[in-house]
Amino acid sequence: MVKKCGLILAAAAAAAAVSGTGAFAQTQWSIAVAENEENTVLNYTVYDSRDSADVEAIASCPNDDASEYNIKGVMYQGVNYGGSPTGGIRTNITAYIEPGDKLRISFDYRSPSYEENSAYDVTPVIEVKGPDGVVSQRYEFAAAPQSDVWTSYTSAESEPVEFSEGDSVSLALMNERGFWHMKGLVIERYGETPFISGLEIGGAAEGGVLRDGAVTVSGTADGPCTLYTAFYNNGRLLSVDSRSADGSFELSAQSSGADEMKLLAWDGMEPKTEEITVRADGNGSYKPEEAVSSLKEKYSGSFLIGNIYNNYNINDAKTALILEHFNVLTGENNMKPEVTAPSKNYYNFSQADAMTDFAEENGLDVIGHTFIWHKQSAAWLTEGTADEVWDNMESFIGNVAGHFKGRVKGWDVVNEAIRDNIDQVPPSWSYYIRKDSEATGTPWFRALRDSEYIYRAFVMAHEADPDAELYYNDYNLDMPYKREAAALLVKHINDKYKQEYKTDENLVDAIGMQSHYSLETNVDDVRASIDRFREIGVKVNITELDVCINRVGDNGEGDSGAATELSASDEMKQAVKYAELMTVYKENADIIDRVTFWGLNDGDSWRSPQHPTLFDAQLKPKKAFYAVMEPENYR
């Protein structure tokens, strides 16, 4: 409805000459681009690990007579990546200007950590980059005087910004020390509770136009916030004004010639907006944005969204959270061999049945986790002669798979059969499977002395429940050598099965990438693994996703250390990591059926001190949650 000045990077880009200035050796950062075409007010925040700053950018559009287009109160979400030497922050503003527009930028910048020299801590520039990333034009702006630790920057109007189709324009705040990395924009509102209540709007209109000063608004915001009033005529923005409010507010706004006013509210960093529209024709609306707030709904077109179920600490609040966001469950421990098969000829399904009943009553799927593993398994399974252990394996898998037949979607038939510390390309499919060494082995191999025990387990599981999907599940599969070991192993199993049973079907339907990650995880490695598994013709499931703040070893162990506080910066970095991962998963949704998170909340996680999940210990959504909801806003 609102025509935004230069909203689109028009294909009809001006054919103005572009003078090259050589390569600009800067990391190309992908940046938030506001999607709310309706709202001309965008909110960003910049911060590094130690402090925060507000940035306000104003862009004018002299092309468009009598109108000034404002990007005001823009909140950049920043991530300090710890000092890339040529760092800076930037946002892509192509979406807001057209060729030939001029720009004016103003913002306040505060950097207490560099107090003595914050006046020259940041240099704002506008860059026009060609599709090849080369800067063709650059406009610099002078810094205004410093006051206290705040420095105000207001630029003169720039030269007209010229660019061609495929170019991008970014506002960059160049930081000499290179600490800034700007990411993400959050504009959606989540949750049901109205942020603003007790709203009263008064005013008068004449001839379809709001009378000057006629609009008064009062109400109460649920906490401190910034309110924006924006006036429009025929969909064109006339003016925008912002003010802070703490609880109740009352404002009288100048409407000069407007036919419509919008009031927008942002409560700081929270992704919550509300929009109140008043029109001179007597219409209007009060619209808390109806955002999709459920993970499973958000990804319903892509994959199932799972979490783990733990019989010991489930309660009403957790149940509600599970049902809101997840549509598939894995037992955190309740279907492990030590629980289902604690001793020979004795099975105990009480916990797993409780979970499965809960899932069935509520329409969730269940994943069976797990049969053959070197951990959390009773000794009887691997005791005796090789023949006896083959029998144990068969009766164990047969009994457990038989019990849950028709009730589970699939089984992690073999878990973690590939060893750690692989330092070269695996020479064969069996070279790096766990064998008998104390450090890297498994009691299954020790008893059976046959690398084909993995294949046999899959055949047994298939015989016991032919309709269940079967998975090979492991951790660190983003690591190149371990990735390759898993690809070779699974390919071997499927090839052997096809040959032996004269079939085209896979025995292993999917590789489960556990995905116990950290801020260090490189999503390019994750993508490369998915690509590799695609090559061998299997699907991929993300089966145990969590993202630790610090890396927790490479041995698949939990972290029972002391909890450290989650800093705002780490919380944002984690959100960005989740967003990057979800982006890779979405790109591969054709072969990914499920993304399961390992832990409902940070309090319950097996790596609790690392704050690895989407919800905090009070079950409040973290930035990671919003990043999974809207990955494009956190890249």
Q: Give 239 or 514: the residue with its C-beta nearer to ligand XIL.
A: 514
Using the rule CB under 6 A, which residue among 14, 556, 616, 635 binds ligand XIL? 556
Residue 436 or 557: the one with the smaller Cβ distance to ligand XIL is 557
Closest residue to ligand XIL, based on beta-carbon distance: 606
Q: Is 56 a catalytic residue?
A: no
Q: How many CA atoms lie within 13 A of 329 on its CB side?
A: 29
**Are residues 377 and 338 in contact, defined by beta-carbon separation less than 8 angstroms?**
yes
Using CB under 6 A, count the residues that bind ligand XIL. 9
Q: Least distance to ligand XIL from the beta carbon of 433, Å?
A: 16
Judged by beta carbon, residue 252 or residue 333, the one nearer ligand XIL is 333
Q: How far apart (Å, rounded) are the C-alpha atoms in residues 447 and 618? A: 46
**Distance separating the N- and C-terminal Cα atoms of the chain:** 28
Q: Does 332 bind ligand XIL (CB under 6 A)?
A: yes
The reply to whether 333 sits near ligand XIL by the rule CB under 6 A is yes
Stated length of the chain: 635
Contacts of 9 (CB under 8 A, 6+ apart): 94, 95, 98, 165, 168
Catalytic residue among 416, 469, 580, 630: 416
Q: Are strands 122-129 and 168-175 parallel, antiparallel or unpaired?
A: antiparallel
Nearest distance, CB of residue 606 and ligand XIL, angstroms: 3
Contact residue for ligand XIL among 514, 541, 601, 610 (CB under 6 A): 514
Could you say which of 260, 544, 580, 630 is catalytic? 544
Residue at token pair 């209540």 = 197
Minimal distance, residue 416 CB to ligand XIL, in Å: 6
Q: Which is nearer to ligand XIL, 365 or 546 (CB)?
A: 546
User: How far is 490 from 422, CA to CA, in rounded Å?
Assistant: 17
Supply the DSSP string of 439-455, one letter for each residue.
TT--HHHHHH--TTHHH
The answer, yes or no, to whether the previous bond of 229 is cis (omega within 30 of 0) is no
Residue pair 558/612 in contact by the 8 Å Cβ criterion: no
Rule CB under 6 A: choose which of 127, 469, 484, 544 binds ligand XIL.
Answer: 544
Of 20, 19, 82, the C-alpha closest to 50 is 82
| Phi, psi values for residue 282, rounded to 5° | 95, -10
**Residue 84 touches ligand XIL, criterion: CB under 6 A:** no
Q: Is 606 a binder of ligand XIL (CB under 6 A)?
A: yes
Please choose, from the candidates 283, 261, 263, the residue with its C-alpha nearest in 3D space to the C-alpha of residue 213: 261
Q: How far is the CB of 322 from ligand XIL (least distance, A)?
A: 16
**For residue 540, which of 585, 580, 503 has the smallest C-alpha distance?**
585
Q: Which is nearer to ligand XIL, 175 or 351 (CB)?
A: 351
Choose between 158 and 605: whose C-beta lies nearer to ligand XIL.
Answer: 605
Q: How far is the CB of 193 from ligand XIL (least distance, A)?
A: 33
Q: Is the backbone peptide bond immediately before 442 cis, with ω within 30 degrees of 0?
A: no
Q: Look up 140 and say whether it is catalytic.
A: no
Site for ligand XIL in 339-398 (CB under 6 A): none
411 forms part of the interface with ligand XIL (CB under 6 A): no
Which amino acids are annotated catalytic? 416, 544
Q: Which residues bind ligand XIL (CB under 6 A)?
A: 332-333, 415, 475, 514, 544, 556, 558, 606
